[in-house]
């Protein structure tokens, strides 16, 4: 609503089987292509404690910007680039973290344009599966230059 229109929100619950990951991916890719504003709310997922979030390098009960989405390996690997608006603090420790040399092959880096690993404070990549595991909602809304 702050951007001038009702946001398009998708609820993502790890405790309930998220059966339409394909729809979520299509919406994220479409929103990214249309240069829409995207954010995700981290925390409040059944079965995960604040300590578990912190252990993975995520701030519980916190909102992150979704700044890029990209596929690799013929579309089978779906990655989401997320940014903590604080720019500092906890650092993602899961798959495709900045220090994950096993998953970040030169080919994957080139396919998704991830040459800046570790250089942009508060920004990290994660799989779509991890996004749906640790985030409880995704909000997508348009950006209007005439909004004040």
Annotated catalytic residue within 44, 68, 84, 136: 84
Any domain includes 63? yes
Any domain includes 42? yes
Any domain includes 1? no
Which of 62, 16, 13, 14 is closest to 39 using CA atoms?
Answer: 62
Any domain includes 137? yes
More confident residue, 87 or 135: 135
| Partners of 138 in the β-ladder | 10, 40
Any domain includes 3? no
Predicted confidence (pLDDT) at residue 93 exceeds the cutoff of 70:
yes
Over residues 88-99, the mean pLDDT reads 90
Any domain includes 147? no
Q: What local confidence, expressed as pLDDT, does residue 4 receive? A: 45
Task: Give per-residue pLDDT as tens, 47-87.
Answer: 889 999 999 999 988 999 999 999 999 999 999 999 998 88
Over residues 81-98, the mean pLDDT reads 90
Q: Say how many domains are in the chain.
A: 1
Any domain includes 146? no
Over residues 117-128, the mean pLDDT reads 86
Any domain includes 56? yes
Task: Give per-residue pLDDT as tens, 8-41.
Answer: 555 554 433 455 788 889 889 998 998 888 999 8
Annotation says 136 is catalytic: no
Measured CA to CA, the distance from residue 72 to residue 129 in angstroms comes to 14
pTM assigned to the model: 0.84
Q: Which two tokens stand for residue 66?
A: 């979704």
Query: Which domain CATH number covers 135?
Result: 3.90.70.10
The CA-atom distances, in angstroms, between 129 and each of 69, 108, 145 are 13, 17, 33
Measured CA to CA, the distance from residue 126 to residue 92 in angstroms comes to 8
Annotation says 84 is catalytic: yes
Predicted confidence (pLDDT) at residue 129 exceeds the cutoff of 90:
yes
- Residue 92 domain boundaries: 8-141
């Amino acid at each position: 609503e702050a951007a001038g229109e009702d946001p398009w929100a998708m609820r993502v619950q790890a405790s309930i089987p998220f059966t339409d990951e394909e729809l979520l991916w299509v919406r994220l890719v479409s929103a990214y292509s249309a240069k829409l504003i995207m954010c995700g709310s981290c925390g409040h997922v059944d079965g995960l404690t604040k300590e578990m979030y912190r252990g993975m390098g995520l701030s519980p009960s916190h909102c992150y910007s979704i700044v890029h989405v990209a596929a690799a390996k013929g579309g089978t690997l779906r990655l989401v680039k997320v940014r903590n608006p604080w720019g500092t603090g906890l650092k993602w420790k899961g798959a495709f973290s900045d220090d994950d040399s096993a998953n970040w092959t030169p080919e994957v880096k080139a396919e998704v344009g991830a040459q800046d690993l570790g250089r942009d404070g508060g920004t990290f990549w994660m799989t779509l599966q991890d996004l749906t595991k640790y985030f409880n909602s995704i909000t997508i809304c348009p950006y209007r230059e005439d909004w004040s």
